[in-house]
């Protein structure tokens, strides 16, 4: 390779790295801008239509599609390694059996992820691997499926990803531990009522509050936004099914009618496309 070609390749790599870092910084800026009219899209368990949920390829696909946030689930192995897994047991998503937290890292790494009944070559990823891939490119919602948070925090410190992750839990004692570890960590408490949302806001001054459709009113969203937090709601289930049927605009309009401005979905690509058409996504 000529000297000029080498310089060109190095320039291209540097440009791509700078773009990725700018991309993540812009998403974070938008995430923290509660006055924005843009709706942010969160992909549930990364992008798992044809890929294993909570896998490295599913995270990379979310980045490729230009999704704002990925949601992923974190558990800790018997020997203290944070790994991505939603269920208590590994039975549904791997070719193994048993509780993840009763098995060691080495035991778990021998397993392979399954998608649509087919065994893949993919291993259960560690949180460190996932955050290394996502760093500088996308925000990450860490759905805490563990009370053992110290190893999780250590991985975030090691990977230098404090500015791009936020912690989700309905257990406020766990979130309080995260908050006590570092006040700069971004938090998303789950609320099941107006009163619970009010309590969460007072306790944590969170960046975002997860609400449910059963108490989704303009009063709730006003309460949250007046405290400079975003409002997260799920499209999982019926709204996503309507999107699949081709009724995306109606489904999304219903989801945002009272002011929710972060939507978690299993159909991120379709949702982003329609939100752009509606002028509600950059």
Query: If we measure between CA atoms, which residue out of 58, 73, 52 comes closest to residue 117?
Result: 52
Nearest-5° Cα angle at 267, 247 to 117: 120
Judge whether 28 lies within some domain: yes
pLDDT at 282: 83
Which CATH number belongs to the domain containing residue 137 in this structure?
Answer: 3.20.20.190
pLDDT at 3: 52
Q: What is the pLDDT of residues 209-231, one digit of tens each?
A: 999 999 999 999 999 999 999 99
Burial (CB count within 10 angstroms: exposed 0-12, middle 13-18, buried 19+), residue 129: middle
Judge whether 282 lies within some domain: no
Distance CA 189, CA 172 (A): 7
pLDDT at 21 over 60: no
* Cβ atoms of residues 145 and 30 within 8 Å: no
Distance CA 261, CA 167 (A): 18
Mean pLDDT over residues 180-208, rounded?
Answer: 97
Integer CA distances (angstroms), 96 to 61, 76, 108, 110, 206, in order: 25, 17, 8, 9, 37
pLDDT at 13 over 70: no
Rounded to the nearest 10°, the torsion over CA 172, 177, 180, 183 is -60
Judge whether 125 lies within some domain: yes
Domain that holds residue 235: 3-277
Close Cβ partners of 241 (under 8 Å, ≥ 6 residues apart): none
DSSP 120: -
Q: What is the pLDDT of residues 95-113, one digit of tens each?
A: 999 999 999 999 999 999 9
Percent of the chain's residues with pLDDT above 70: 92
Question: pTM of this prediction?
Answer: 0.90
Distance CA 158, CA 224 (A): 32
CB atoms within 10 A of CB 11: 10
pLDDT at 188 over 90: yes
Total structural domains within the chain: 1
Judge whether 144 lies within some domain: yes
């Amino acid at each position: 390779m000529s000297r000029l070609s080498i310089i060109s390749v190095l320039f291209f790599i540097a440009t791509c790295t700078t773009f990725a870092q700018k991309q993540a910084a812009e998403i974070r800026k938008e995430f923290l801008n509660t006055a924005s009219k843009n709706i942010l899209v969160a992909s549930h368990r990364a992008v798992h239509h044809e890929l294993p949920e909570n896998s490295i390829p599913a995270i990379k696909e979310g980045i490729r599609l230009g999704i704002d946030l990925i949601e992923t689930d974190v558990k800790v192995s018997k020997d203290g390694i944070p790994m991505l897994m939603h269920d208590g047991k590994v039975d549904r998503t791997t070719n193994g059996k048993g509780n993840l937290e009763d098995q060691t890292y080495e035991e778990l790494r021998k397993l392979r992820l399954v998608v649509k009944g087919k065994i893949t070559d993919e291993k259960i990823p560690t949180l460190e691997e996932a955050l290394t891939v996502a760093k500088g490119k996308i925000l990450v919602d860490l759905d805490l499926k563990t009370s053992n948070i110290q190893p999780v925090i250590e991985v975030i410190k090691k990977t230098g990803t404090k500015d791009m992750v936020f912690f989700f839990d309905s257990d406020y004692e766990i979130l309080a531990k995260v908050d006590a570890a570092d006040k700069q960590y971004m938090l998303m408490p789950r609320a099941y009522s107006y009163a619970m949302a009010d309590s969460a806001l007072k306790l944590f001054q969170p960046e975002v509050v997860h609400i449910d459709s059963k108490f989704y009113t303009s009063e709730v969203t006003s309460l949250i936004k007046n405290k400079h937090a975003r409002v997260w709601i799920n499209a999982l289930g019926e709204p996503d099914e309507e999107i699949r049927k081709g009724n995306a605009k109606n489904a999304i309009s219903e989801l945002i009618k009272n002011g929710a401005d972060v939507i978690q979905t299993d159909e991120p690509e379709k949702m982003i496309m329609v939100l752009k058409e509606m002028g509600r996504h950059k």
